[in-house]
Amino acid sequence: MARRSSRLLLASAVLALAVLAAAAAVPPTCERIECPAYEVVDSANGFEIRRYTDAMWVSTAPIEDISFVSATRSGFLQLFNYIQGKNAYNETIEMTAPVLTEVSPSDGPFCASSFVVSFYVPAKNQPDPPPADGLPVRRWAGDRYAAVRRFGGFVSDADVGEQAARLDASLQGTRWAAAVNEGRSGSQPTSYTVAQYNSPFEFSGRVNEIWMLFDAAKVGSDVN
Ligand SMILES: *[C@@H]1O[C@H](CO)[C@@H](O)[C@H](O)[C@H]1NC(C)=O
């Protein structure tokens, strides 16, 4: 009897761990620096659905480039200068995560794609984010949903399209597919966002994500 109940205990512990593993933990970077809060609404093989509430972002103008890596680097430098005080208030702002790059791919392999790089505005600065020329500040109105796929390592130009295609494939046949497609067609049918959580000087445990943003009103009734 005692053995049976301890075996049962072990089985339920294993089950609990399996459930925890299904929803990816918050990126470790977010234990050190501020990240936008989110709730996990659903998770399944290959993706997670998150709800972000009222996040605010400071963004670059669209950057035309053939390389994701080089566009992200140049956008990052503009935003880094902004948080170092190159803004209308000469105010320094804390570094946050993730760094977002919205990718609007070109039609052809040798044409420039368009990239918009963004930093999350810390909660402290959200009531009065410093303005700056050419760097619009945008608040996500109400709830914004994201279908998310996580991957590791340093992001390369070859990775991003591949990871976006895998996220897209994992969503097919789920109740999220139509809303995600509609969310993407708002800008361009093949657009997606890359979220990076680590500085270039961190070599292990790197966390990156593909986000496909969408509006949950398009999903139907059972999104809580
Ligand atoms: C910001 O710094 C510049 C250059 O030092 C100065 O001219 C300007 O008055 C400062 N602005 C504010 C709002 O402090």
Using alpha carbons, list the distances in angstroms from residue 62 to 39, 74, 105, 157: 29, 11, 12, 18
Q: How far is the CA of 81 from the centre of ligand 1 (A)?
A: 15
Ligand 1 atom 6: the closest Cα is on which residue?
A: 90
Atom of ligand 1 lying closest to residue 90 CA: 1
Residue 34 has pLDDT above 80, yes or no: yes
Condensed to tens digits (0 to 9), the pLDDT of residues 125-179 reads: 999 999 999 999 999 988 899 999 999 999 999 999 999 999 999 999 999 998 8
Is the overall model pTM greater than 0.75, yes or no? yes
- Contact between 114 and 64 under an 8 Å Cβ cutoff? The reply is yes
Its CATH class, for the domain covering 3-218, is: alpha beta
Domain residue limits, the chain: 3-218
- Contact between 118 and 83 under an 8 Å Cβ cutoff? The reply is no
- Beta strands 143-151 and 63-65 are unpaired
Residue 220 has pLDDT above 80, yes or no: no
pLDDT at 187: 58
**Cβ–ligand 1 contact at 89 (below 6 Å):** yes
8, 10, 11, 17 alpha-carbon torsion, rounded to 10°: 150
Ligand 1 atom 13: the closest Cα is on which residue?
A: 89
Condensed to tens digits (0 to 9), the pLDDT of residues 190-219 reads: 799 999 999 988 999 999 999 999 987 766
Chain centroid, CA 17 distance in Å: 25
Kindly calculate the radius of gyration of the chain based on its CA atoms and give it in whole angstroms: 19
Condensed to tens digits (0 to 9), the pLDDT of residues 2-29 reads: 556 666 655 655 544 444 444 578 899 9
Residue reference for tokens 């053939």: 66
Ligand 1 atom 5: the closest Cα is on which residue?
A: 90
84, 86, 90: residue to mutate for ligand 1 pocket, most atoms within 8 A of CB: 90
**Cβ–ligand 1 contact at 85 (below 6 Å):** no
Residue 223 CB-density burial (10 A; 0-12 exposed, 13-18 middle, 19+ buried): middle
User: How many Cα atoms sit within 13 Å of 23 on the Cβ side?
Assistant: 11
Instruction: Pull the structure tokens for residue 120.
Output: 């999350």
